[in-house]
Amino acid sequence: MISIPVEHGLLLATILFCLGLLGVLVRRNIIFVLMSMEIMFNAVGLAFISGGSRWHQADGQIMFMLVLTLAAAEVAVGLALVLQLYKRFKTVDIDIVSEMKG
């Protein structure tokens, strides 16, 4: 069994996380924002898995299960919001919905 060094796993996770964050920050289409958040979730999950396999602990995988559940819940709520948004504004552009300001 070829073992992948933990640094590689973490590096990949970091890159994925940053890409996801960038997506969240710059995309205007709310569906893409949600997808970018998914990427961030998975990057975090990957970091957990690599950590777990490095120290031979099951904790990393358990945490990943938790992240998956969280992601599922987030998508359920998020998509419902997107539907509502589209119904009201006939658009999925996130900048249009900037009414809640101080």
Partner 1 sequence: MLDILWLVPTFPLVGFLLLACCALPKKIASWVGVGSVGLSALMTLIIAIELLNLPVTEQVFRQTLWQWFVSGDLHVAFTLYLDPLALVMMCIITGVGFLIHLYSVGYMADDPGFSRFFAYMNLFVSAMLVLVLGDNLVLLYLGWEGVGLCSYLLIGFWYEKPENGYAARKAFIVTRIGDTSMALGLFLLFMHLGTLDIQQLMQSAGQTWTSGSSMPTLAAALLLGGALGKSAQLPLQTWLPDAMAGPTPISALIHAATMVTAGVYLIARTHELFLLAPDVLFIVAIIGALTLLISGFTALVQTDIKRILAFSTMSQLGYMFLALGVGAWSAAIFHLMTHAFFKALLFLASGAVIICMHHEQDIFKMGGLRKCLPVSFWSFMIGGLALAALPLTSGYYSKHEILAATFAFEGAGNNLWAAGVFGALITGIYTSRLIFIVFFGEDKTHAQESIGLSIKLPLLILCALSLLGGMIQVPLESVFPIVAESPHMKGMVNGMTSLAPFIGLFVAYLFFYLKPNLPQTLVNTYPGRLLQRFWFSGWGFDWLYQKLLINPFMWFVRVNKKDVVDSLYRLIAWVTRMLHRLLSLTQTGRVQWYAAGIALGVVAIVGLGVWRDHLWF
The residue among 45, 5, 4, 38 whose CA lies nearest residue 19 is 38
User: In the bound complex, what is the minimum distance in angstroms from residue 3's beta carbon to partner 1?
Assistant: 27
Biggest CA pair distance of the chain: 57
Cβ-in-10-Å burial (0-12, 13-18, 19+) of 8 comes to exposed
Of residues 6 through 25, those in contact with partner 1 by CB under 8 A are 21, 24-25
CA triple 21-69-78, angle to 5 deg = 55
Residues 31-70, one symbol each (x = binds partner 1 by CB under 8 A, - = not), give: --x-------------------------------------
Applying CB under 8 A, among 35, 75, 85, 97 the residue interacting with partner 1 is 97
- Comparison of 2 and 25: residue with beta carbon closer to partner 1: 25
Chain residues in the site for partner 1 (CB under 8 A):
21, 24-26, 33, 94-95, 97-102
